[in-house]
Amino acid sequence: MAKQFDRRQVLSAGVAGVAIVGLAACSDSDSDETTEQGLTNTTPTSMPTNKVVAKTTDVPVGSVFKFNDPNTGIPAYILQPAAGTFIAYSSKCTHQGCIVEAYPDASGFSCACHGAKYDSVTGAPDEVTSKTLTATPLAKISLTIAGDQISVA
């Protein structure tokens, strides 16, 4: 005689089956593999690379160069305040996230949303901004200079 299943048992088995398939789908398919010798293969899935965003000639001393940060997609600025010294800042205002604009003479940054002002060399907010809007400086972006290439890490 064949065993009969009630509706509750059938539904429970179905839910368990779906859960097992769901867990298998969520597993890490790029996990470490063990070789025949018992060694673990840990091939990285991505290698960190520097992304060239400008040439040193694009940023003369005392000027500012606008580019899109390849890591965030947000506009950013490179400045050369002194010969051979390159610094970069995100253009995202630390008050409420609006985009700041650089002064044409590279002396600072200004946010049109609420009037926040930042120093171009330190990224720090000016005295009024730090007392009324934010004391947090603009986010500094790490640069690498190789020959005439300026890269973002």
pLDDT tens, residue by residue, 43-102: 444 445 689 999 999 999 999 999 999 999 999 999 999 999 999 999 999 999 999 999
Q: How far is CA 79 from CA 31, 52, 61, in A?
A: 42, 15, 8
- Whether 7 maps to a domain, the answer reads no
Residue closest to 93 by CA, chosen among 62, 117, 72: 117
- Please tell me the total count of domains within the chain: 1
Within 13 Å and on the Cβ side, how many CA atoms surround 77?
30
CATH of the domain at 140: 2.102.10.10
Burial class (CB in 10 A: 0-12, 13-18, 19+), 76: buried
- Whether 102 maps to a domain, the answer reads yes
Confidence of residue 41 (pLDDT cuts 50, 70, 90): very low
